Amino acid sequence: MSNHKFALIFALMLALVTPSLLAKGAPVDDEGKALLAKADSLYRLGYFEKAVPVYLQAAQLGNAEAQFDMGYACYNGEGTDRDYTSAAMWFKRAARQQFAKAQYNLAYCYMNGRGVPRDYDKASDLLHSSAENNYKRAQLTLADCYAKGILVEQDEAESGRWKLRAEDNQGVRPAVSPVAEKEKANVGDTKGEQPVGHAIPAKAQAKAQHPIAHKPATAPSNVIKAAVNAQKAISQKETLEGDFSIDVTLPGEEGETVVAEAEPKARQENVADATPTEATKPNVILGPKQLKAAEQAQAASVHPTTTPVLRILYPEDQSMFHTDQVKVKYQLIAGNAADSTRVVVTVDGQRQPQTRAVRAANTIDVDLPRHDCTVMMYAQNKYGNSEPSTIRLIRESTSFELPKLFVVAIGVGDYQDPKLPKLKLTTKDAQDFARAIATKKGLPYEDVQVKVLCDGEATRADIFEAMEWLKQESSPNDVCVFFYAGHGLRDEKDRFYFIPHGCSSDKLYDCFSASDFRNEAEDINGKFIAFVDACYSGALFGGTRSAATAHFIEQLKRSKNGMLLYASSSSDTKSQEDESWGNGAFTKALVEAINGAAREDHAEGLSTQELEHFLYKEVRKITNYKQTPIFINPNGIEHFNHFNYEK
């Protein structure tokens, strides 16, 4: 079976799990439970737009299931705008609490690059975690992955183990109404292979008799609409709609069909229908090392002098790429000569160095050219060479494409530390900045993607996650922006710290340090611009400079791109906010500049130098010369336009 078909099967199997209205996650406080129950009630009635704000309140209180439900709502645009990035963020938060369905959906997101960069390793890890947390669908999916060699090395023993785990699992099925079950049984499912949770095909839905058909004709239109939404919620399809590499669509929207032949039998809900041989397998669970040893022993005994076998697991053939390096994972079977077998990689016929191969994980980092290329791998030992495994990778053109702008805007004001006064305008600062910068799509950016984190969504972990998003989403052609409004502190060595939500001034080591910031910024592609509206923010590149910091600065100096820092105040000065200004002084001037106040005659756009001069003049003026912003260009990159003006 081709790699394309493998990917299709997995994409069909990794169906998005619907919100569970019955099975709850880890215990939460009473307020969170009450909010979740209220939101569930609204959702059942089909009032999605009313349910989402209530789910959001419960999610912000840390309720794992509400976080999962928010992710699902954002992914499908139920009661809110469709937003894959926010969906992945909420799935991540629920997954951290070991909520199995969130782990499963997040695996789907990583598999298909929805809201997060495509990452097959993370998809595999999350799928395993969901299965280990006893989610039956994950166990069945994982069994099929091991059977087909999708995401993982092909392993029939491990496939059988997960099938048995799923068979023994008496977990609750996703909620489906008796009406939906009846409809599903009468839509001509002649093959008997309809995967669990798949929606009724659109044409069959049109023929089905819904309860609302018997409502009096005089019923108010809003009641009828709610009943329609309720029926939709109950029989909601669970398969993600996505772009696939071959011409296949999934059920759910008018005119769409499903390719039943591509759906594996292992996805059937009734595992008891498996063949007698499978059903009676002993439930023996072997660890990874035992399985590997058994596989090698079998290979050595059966084929002691056979040439090795190598197969590329991913990326797929014809995959797109825009980075200069890709991680290739492969399966290697070499029998008793595994330790002496070496893997050879060529790109367009040129041999790659072998030092970056990780034998334990069967992965290797491969350098890629700036054009389409062919990657070929084969294994070599004393018995000979394996058949080569080849994939063609397609380079996404960047030379003539407009850059993208990725923005993280953070605002923290609701501090619980009594030593840190609450800030009234910082969350508004982040929102106002995000709103202003989002208008620059097409000037000249192909797209502007903004992630806003305020108060409870701006913990230390959230900031790391946002920086990771910048690193993985951006290419060398793009621009990344980091905005922070909140408290900033220095320690006795003048080292600067951002103070995220939930952190204490007595435990600066738990905060987001300048070192944390620089380490994350070092790996960001393209140009990186930081706007920091915090007291003492000029110390972000101050304090005691370690050898690591010096190395970071030297790397920036050697790079084509690099970092610019606009700090609201010097390293020994506090930053000011005033309700009469509507923002902090620095943010007020910055937003005005973005909105055109810094525009000079005949200027095509707002340059880095012009913004520096405008902020210096305006912030001093607003604060009666008590606050002076700082501009830092650590690697001396040439001035460029932040954006172009509209003509």
Residue 317: what pLDDT? 85
pLDDT band at 288 (very low <50, low <70, confident <90, very high): low
| E strand intervals along 388-460 | 389-395, 404-411, 447-454
- Flag the least confident range among 6-15, 98-107, 555-564: 6-15
Residues 6 or more apart whose Cβ sits within 8 Å of residue 453: 408, 409, 410, 411, 430, 462, 463, 466
Task: Mark whether 639 and 530 lie in a shared domain.
Answer: yes
Q: Tell me what the mean pLDDT of segment 165-185 comes to.
A: 49
Task: Mark whether 640 and 602 lie in a shared domain.
Answer: yes
> pLDDT tens-digit profile of 370-389?
788 999 998 888 888 888 99
Residue 280: what pLDDT? 35
- Of the two residues 623 and 551, the one the predictor is more confident about is 623
- Of the two residues 359 and 7, the one the predictor is more confident about is 359
Count other C-beta atoms under 10 Å from residue 621's C-beta: 11
In a domain, 361, yes or no: yes
Q: Tell me what the mean pLDDT of segment 377-402 comes to.
A: 81
Task: Mark whether 458 and 568 lie in a shared domain.
Answer: yes
- Dist. CA 129–CA 134, nearest whole Å: 9
Task: Mark whether 373 and 484 lie in a shared domain.
Answer: no
In a domain, 180, yes or no: no
- Dist. CA 162–CA 523, nearest whole Å: 38
- Dist. CA 559–CA 636, nearest whole Å: 10
In a domain, 228, yes or no: no
Instruction: Compute the half-sphere exposure of residue 554: CA atoms within 13 Å on the CB side of its CA.
Output: 7
Residue 603: what pLDDT? 87
Task: Mark whether 459 and 389 lie in a shared domain.
Answer: no
> pLDDT tens-digit profile of 113-129?
787 777 788 888 999 99
Q: Is the pLDDT of residue 404 over 70?
A: yes
- Dist. CA 393–CA 322, nearest whole Å: 10
151: left (phi over 0), alpha (psi -120 to 50) or beta: left
Residue 434: what pLDDT? 96
Task: Mark whether 436 and 561 lie in a shared domain.
Answer: yes
Side by side, the strands of the sheet bearing 527-533 are 447-454, 404-411, 479-485, 527-533, 562-567, 630-632
Q: Is the pLDDT of residue 22 over 80?
A: no
Count other C-beta atoms under 10 Å from residue 186's C-beta: 12
- Of the two residues 578 and 220, the one the predictor is more confident about is 578
pLDDT band at 563 (very low <50, low <70, confident <90, very high): confident
User: Letter for the amino acid at 615?
Assistant: L
Task: Mark whether 390 and 409 lie in a shared domain.
Answer: no
What CATH code is carried by the domain that includes residue 311? 2.60.40.10
- Of the two residues 212 and 630, the one the predictor is more confident about is 630
Q: Tell me what the mean pLDDT of segment 543-567 comes to.
A: 52
Task: Mark whether 580 and 546 lie in a shared domain.
Answer: yes
Residue 559: what pLDDT? 39
pLDDT band at 475 (very low <50, low <70, confident <90, very high): confident
Q: Tell me what the mean pLDDT of segment 72-79 comes to.
A: 89
In a domain, 470, yes or no: yes
Q: Is the pLDDT of residue 604 over 70?
A: yes
In a domain, 350, yes or no: yes
Q: Select from 395, 428, 460 the last residue of a domain.
A: 395
Task: Mark whether 438 and 587 lie in a shared domain.
Answer: yes
Q: Select from 137, 152, 168 the last residue of a domain.
A: 168
Residue 258: what pLDDT? 25
What CATH code is carried by the domain that includes residue 437? 3.40.50.1460
Among residues of the chain, what percentage have pLDDT more than 90?
A: 33
Q: Select from 325, 360, 395 the last residue of a domain.
A: 395
Residue 302: what pLDDT? 47
Q: Is the pLDDT of residue 250 over 80?
A: no
Residue 1: what pLDDT? 45
Task: Mark whether 438 and 478 lie in a shared domain.
Answer: yes
Q: Is the pLDDT of residue 32 over 90?
A: no
Residue 294: what pLDDT? 58
> pLDDT tens-digit profile of 291-340?
555 555 555 554 455 788 888 988 888 888 777 788 888 888 887 787 88
Q: Is the pLDDT of residue 286 over 70?
A: no
Range of the domain at 39: 3-168
> pLDDT tens-digit profile of 193-235?
332 322 222 222 332 333 323 333 333 444 444 444 544 443 3
Q: Tell me what the mean pLDDT of segment 416-436 comes to.
A: 94
- Flag the least confident range among 525-534, 539-548, 550-559: 550-559
In a domain, 213, yes or no: no
Residue 368: what pLDDT? 87
Residue 439: what pLDDT? 94
Output the average pLDDT for the chain: 74
- Of the two residues 539 and 595, the one the predictor is more confident about is 595
pLDDT band at 552 (very low <50, low <70, confident <90, very high): very low
Q: Is the pLDDT of residue 264 over 70?
A: no
Residue 292: what pLDDT? 57
Task: Mark whether 593 and 636 lie in a shared domain.
Answer: yes
- Flag the least confident range among 67-81, 295-309, 500-514: 295-309
What CATH code is carried by the domain that includes residue 88? 1.25.40.10
Residue 242: what pLDDT? 37
Q: Is the pLDDT of residue 442 over 60?
A: yes
Q: Is the pLDDT of residue 493 over 60?
A: yes
- Flag the least confident range among 230-234, 267-271, 389-393, 566-570: 267-271
> Judging by DSSP bridges, how do beta strands 496-498 and 512-513 pair with one another?
antiparallel
In a domain, 34, yes or no: yes
Q: Please give the tally of structural domains in the chain.
A: 3
Count other C-beta atoms under 10 Å from residue 442's C-beta: 13
- Dist. CA 297–CA 290, nearest whole Å: 10
In a domain, 414, yes or no: yes
Length of the chain: 647
Task: Mark whether 385 and 490 lie in a shared domain.
Answer: no
Give the DSSP per-residue string, 53-66: HHHHHHHHTT-HHH
